[in-house]
Amino acid sequence: MTVNKANCVAETDVKVGVLTGTLVEPESSQHGKTVYLIIAGSGPTDRDGNQQSITTDTYKKLARGLSHHNIVSYLYDKRGVGESKVDGLKEENLTIDTYINDAVYVIDWLRKKFQHLKWVSLVIVKVGSSVWLQD
């Protein structure tokens, strides 16, 4: 576990099934009633919001900002990206259903881990247009 005392954030790398992610929690034991699941959008964007050609840490910064308001969040590398690479997996075999099933699996894990929380809220970046184009 990495503890960033300057920002009062605890970050823990956690593997949920084949997906590797980071659980970001406030140092305070008084968590809010919601945990946020932050999912990167299209392309090879990792859990922190970075790609090979650009490093912004956008999603990591969002998670840390939420923790300052006593909100827990979990960010994960999508299947086939970053530390969630799967041997032999071909990108053309991934569908929107794959990503939905992965998200549901992670939501179930979060509900079990944080039973006292009332909500699991999704923050999905850039995936919406793909969902709207489906029949």
**Highest mean pLDDT range out of 25-29, 39-43, 84-88?**
84-88
Instruction: Report the distance separating Cα 2 and Cα 9, nearest Å.
Output: 9
Torsion sign across C-alpha atoms 27, 29, 31, 37: positive
Token pair of 33, please?
Answer: 């009633």
Please give the average per-residue pLDDT across 31-44, as a whole number: 83
User: Could you tell me how many residues make up the chain?
Assistant: 135
- Does residue 79 or residue 3 have the better pLDDT? 79
